[in-house]
């Protein structure tokens, strides 16, 4: 259809509807476009000529009146839910365990099995930020880092990165336990003497140790 035809049809449509609105009903042979059906408040179908105010059906759908009464009805219907949402948000914030007024003792186990110095530094940095986020070590009952697989190579004495070693020793001095998988030690021929000081050797294996701690209620994290 060309643009000219489309414009002509639109003009014809609005012309017919306009005459129907102001001239009133005509005979039953009126053009189909002249019959505009809408739904009123009572659910009945009416022609445009039977409606005293335009968009009457639209206001009835909203359950409101054009003069503003519907706004108050909508506000009254939404207000209780709004209040409940605010109360729930307040309760959730008050129950956050990292807040000082609701502090609790945390028990956490971290897993590190990915190879690479950057990954090892990232996990230790994550642990440091974690402890700071919950308010310090006074809010941590126990935190253990379980290392197995290729990741254990980054903690072998003699070839260990100085910055990584310093961060590890600081966390250990503050309360973190460094656990080394016994199976990984055998596979990579790593002796106890090659591990960092105060290391906890896990003869049952790293994954078994994580399972044991989770059964005791520890929170499991794998950055």
SS3 86: helix
CATH number of 103-221: 3.40.1260.10
pLDDT in tens, 63-73: 445 455 555 55
Of 137, 73, 139, whose CA–CA distance to 102 is shortest?
Answer: 139
- Domain chopping of the chain, boundaries: 1-62, 67-95, 103-221
Q: How far apart are CA 60 and CA 66, in angstroms?
A: 10
Q: What is the pTM of this model?
A: 0.58
Tens-digit pLDDT profile for residues 104-152: 789 999 999 999 999 999 999 999 999 999 999 999 999 999 999 999 9
Cα separation, 42 vs 63, in Å, equals 12
């Amino acid at each position: 259809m060309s643009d000219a035809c489309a414009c002509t049809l639109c003009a014809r449509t609005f012309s017919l509807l306009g005459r129907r609105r102001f001239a009133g009903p005509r005979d039953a042979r009126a053009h189909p476009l002249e019959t505009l059906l809408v739904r009123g408040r009572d659910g009945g179908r009416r022609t445009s000529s039977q409606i005293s105010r335009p968009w009457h059906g639209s206001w009835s759908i909203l359950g409101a009146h054009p003069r503003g009464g519907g706004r108050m009805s909508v506000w009254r219907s939404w207000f209780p839910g709004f209040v409940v949402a605010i109360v729930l948000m307040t309760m959730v914030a008050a129950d956050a365990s990292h807040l000082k007024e609701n502090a609790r003792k945390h028990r956490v186990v971290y897993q590190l099995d990915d190879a690479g110095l950057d990954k090892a530094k990232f996990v230790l940095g994550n642990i440091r930020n974690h402890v700071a986020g919950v308010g310090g070590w006074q809010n941590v009952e126990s935190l253990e880092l379980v290392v197995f697989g290729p990741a254990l190579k980054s903690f072998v004495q003699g070839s260990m990165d100085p910055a990584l070693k310093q961060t590890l020793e600081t966390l250990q001095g503050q309360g973190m336990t460094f656990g080394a998988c016994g199976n990984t030690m055998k596979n990579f021929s790593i002796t106890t003497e090659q591990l960092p000081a105060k290391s906890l050797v896990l003869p049952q294996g790293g994954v078994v140790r994580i399972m044991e701690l989770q059964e005791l209620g520890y929170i499991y994290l794998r950055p």
